[in-house]
Amino acid sequence: MNIAKTLVLTSLVLGGVGFAAAGAARAGDAVPSWSGAYTGANFGYGWDSGKVGLSPSTDVPELQDFLDDIIASGSFPSSISPSARGVIGGGQAGYNWQLPSGWIVGIEADLQASGIGGSKSEARFPEFFDATSTSVEMKVDWFGTLRGRAGYLVDPQWLVYATGGLAFGETSLSYSEADVTSGCIPDATICGDHTASGTRAGWTVGAGVETMLAPNWSVKAEYLYVDLGKRSFTAATNTPIDFNVSAKYHEQTARIGLNYHFD
C-alpha cells in the first residue's frame, strides 16, 4: 500500500470516529480537563509492503562461474514481497499536561499483540537448469512504543496531536529453497531453509485526534509508522552456495482507542 492510500485510509478512520463521537461529545456542556493520568485499550490494523531481499553467494572460487550462470538464467528471485498485514490490539497508558495556551503535552506507552504477517512462494523454471521454489515469511509477533505527545485543543473537547519516540518489538524472518525437478540431494541440488527471530528496537512517528465523550472518558483514532529495523542472515544450502536474506520492518498502523482519565 503506497503513502497516498495510507493517508486516505487514515483520513477515513479518523473521520469515521470523529463523526460517531460528535453527538456523544455534545451531550455534556462541562469543559473537560485533560491533565492527569489515563489508561485504555485499542484495536486496529497494520501492514508492511516491504520486500525480502535474496542474494546467493559462495566462498568456493571454482563455483563462482556456475553460480553466475544460475543467476543469469533467472533461477532465483532477487526479492519477494510477502505482503505482511493483520489485526493488532493492546493497551496504553499515559499522562497529559494541559497548558493555559490550549496546548497539551504528554507521554504515552503502549504494548500491542500483533497478527501482522505474510508469506509467499515463487517458482522459477529456467532454461537448462532445474526448476526451483523459493519461499519467505515475515512476522511481527508483538510490538510496543514509548512516545511523547504534543497537541492543540481545537475545541475544549477535541485534541489534534502529533506523536513520536521509541519503538520495540519481536520480528521473525523465514526462508526456504527447494529444487523442484530433482529434489534435495546433498552436494548436488540447492535446497535449504533458515528462520531468525528476536527483539528489535527502532522508532515511531504518527498523528491522531482524540475527543472527550463524557467525564473521564475519551476516544481516539491514531496512525503510527513503526520502524523496527532490519533483520538479515545467511542461509546454508545442500551445496557450498548460500543465500543472504534480509528484510526491513516498516509497519504502518491505524487504530482506535478508548481511554479512562483519572481525576
Q: CA–CA separation, 228 vs 251, rounded Å?
A: 8
Q: For the chain, how many structural domains are there in total?
A: 1
Q: Judge contact between 177 and 189, C-beta under 8 A.
A: no
Kindly tell me the number of DSSP H helices and DSSP E strands found in the chain: 2, 11
The CATH number of residue 88's host domain is 2.40.160.20
pLDDT digits (tens, 9 = 90+) for 98-131: 999 999 999 999 999 999 999 999 999 998 899 9
pLDDT digits (tens, 9 = 90+) for 201-255: 999 999 999 999 988 999 999 999 999 999 999 999 999 999 999 999 999 999 9
Domain range spanning residue 119?
A: 3-261
pLDDT for residue 12 is more than 60: no
Q: Would you say residue 176 has pLDDT above 90?
A: yes
| CB contact set of 164 (below 8 Å; sequence gap of 6+) | 147, 148, 203, 204, 205, 206
**Chain segment 31-58, per-residue pLDDT in tens:** 788 999 999 999 999 999 899 999 999 9
pTM summary value: 0.84
Cα of first residue to Cα of last residue in the chain, in angstroms, is: 41
**% the chain with pLDDT above 90:** 84
Residue 9: pLDDT over 80: no
**Amino acid 29: pLDDT:** 53
